[in-house]
Structure 1
Amino acid sequence: MMNVLIVEDDPMVSAINQQYLKKIIPSAQLSLTKTDNGAHALSILKQQPVDLVLLDVYMPKLSGSEVLTELMRLEIHPQVIMLTAANDTDHVKAAIDYGVLDYLIKPFTFDRFEQSVTKFLQIHQSLKNTGPLAQKDLDQLFTTPSAQSSQLPQTLPKGLSRLSLERVLTAIQPLQAPFSVQDAAQAAKLSRISTKKYLDYLIDTHQLSSSIKYLAVGRPLTVYKFAN
């Protein structure tokens, strides 16, 4: 379950953020909390674990920058994506000093929002493993999305999203082969139907191969592995 806190004092913007988020993370895998001020956000963060905070700057009682300062003082470190109209140096510096994951200036597009949340999901998935990370795993964490995507084609078939393709690719790389659609969907936190579209594309482009696994009970299962 992904625990996300939206901190936004404009009800319309808060609703849009929620709508965008639910287009990326399935509702069954999302635990969402919302508040309209920084003071209440801090209270929530002290009481319950939060994986990701979508944080505005200009809010009553306590600004987003003040929230970041308090989080550092309290040594509470959820991943934070700033979603704000504040583009002055002081607020940006406060965000950098905290180590925010991304900083989006309002109004932002869904594609830009999806890029930020996808980056968070990639990091969250990679750090779930307690063992040592290989250099390629670290490269995925610390390389900018634009550099990661440079090896992907500029155009995709209709109905496929470049960001979602990156998300599926990142999710399936650590999986033990052969893996199923269900395995890939759980790793990418996408629906089975959406995930299969991207697996089919990766087969069509010879990046994956598939085979049939016969089970003792039930239908045969299609499984996948990276092509040699």
Structure 2
Amino acid sequence: MLNKITAVIAEDDFRIADIHEKFLNKFNEIEVAGKALNGSQTIEMLTEKTPDLLILDIYMPDMLGSDLLPIIREGFPKVSIIMITAATDKDFIEKALSYGVENYLIKPVNRERFDEVILDFIKKYTLLNSKQEINQKYVDLLFGNKEIEKPGKETELPKGIDEITLRKVKNVLLVKNQGLSAEEVGNEIGASRITARRYLEYLSSIKEAKAEVVYGIVGRPERKYYPI
């Protein structure tokens, strides 16, 4: 079992910082180690907490978060950065890309989009820290590459299967990397057990998950799903 992912939030508006902390606390894999209100506090927090993830705003009272990027990359090269900001200037976005920022979210952030980005980060972090064999499939998962479609391949999903929900279910299986019931998956994605089971059975039918029947303490059989 991997240690929890440590996160730090750098945001000058404490109300927004509290919202981001609340969002992150939804994920059992993440622990918020602290919040910084300006650039200097951010550097102090990175030094003290050595987090795995930094949620970084651009507009802070003492310096721009974008100006922190070279300092962070020099002193804390392994920390992953997700920027959440109202800044829409192309220069900021280009700088974020050049310093290897994981993702860039524009305020106000949609909760569903926030969750997607964090799930993708957890998946990547888990893969990097796993003992999985390194092959093209592993690399494609790590870099978020989509499978190249073959000519004539059917791309339409069956009725009742939504692409966004399907991606969430797949991410949950990959991140947890253990057998999960339909109820457990449903709780993770905010859906009913019946809905989760429909998606899990679909993944099983296309060989992107496998299902096994396990017996609990009282002997009641339960269907568990595993990533492939």
TM-score range, shorter chain: 0.7 to 0.9
TM normalised by structure 1 equals 0.74
Question: For residue 31 of structure 1, what is the aligned residue in structure 2?
Answer: 31
- Cα shift readout 1:101-125 (whole Å, capped 9, x = no counterpart): 1111222322222222122111111
Aligned CA RMSD, in angstroms, stands at 3.9
Question: For residue 11 of structure 1, what is the aligned residue in structure 2?
Answer: 14
| CA 1:21–1:221: 2 relative to 1, 3 Å | same
**Amino acid corresponding to residue 77 of structure 1 in structure 2:** K
Question: For residue 141 of structure 1, what is the aligned residue in structure 2?
Answer: 142
- Cα shift readout 1:80-116 (whole Å, capped 9, x = no counterpart): 1111112223322221121001111222322222222
Contact 1:6 1:54 in 2 (8 A): yes
Structure 2: gaps spanning 5 or more residues: none
What is the CA-CA distance between 1:66 and the residue it aligns to? 2.2
- Matched residue SS, 2:25: helix
Return the alpha-carbon distance in structure 2 between the equivalents of residues 101 and 154 of structure 1. 32
| CA 1:152–1:67: 2 relative to 1, 3 Å | farther
Return the alpha-carbon distance in structure 2 between the equivalents of residues 72 and 225 of structure 1. 37
- Matched residue SS, 1:100: coil
Return the alpha-carbon distance in structure 2 between the equivalents of residues 174 and 22 of structure 1. 16
What is the CA-CA distance between 1:127 and the residue it aligns to? 0.7
Question: For residue 81 of structure 1, what is the aligned residue in structure 2?
Answer: 82
Contact 1:9 1:37 in 2 (8 A): yes
- Matched residue SS, 1:93: helix
- 1:1-228 → structure 2 map (5 Å cutoff): 1-23=4-26, 25-26=27-28, 29-32=29-32, 33-130=34-131, 132-143=133-144, 153=157, 156=160, 163=164, 165-172=166-173, 180-181=179-180, 191=188, 198-203=196-201, 206-207=205-206, 208=209, 210-214=211-215, 219-224=220-225
**Amino acid corresponding to residue 30 of structure 1 in structure 2:** I
Contact 1:165 1:198 in 2 (8 A): no
- Cα shift readout 1:51-84 (whole Å, capped 9, x = no counterpart): 2111100102232112211112214331111111
Return the alpha-carbon distance in structure 1 between the equivalents of residues 189 and 90 of structure 2. 43
Contact 2:212 2:225 in 1 (8 A): yes
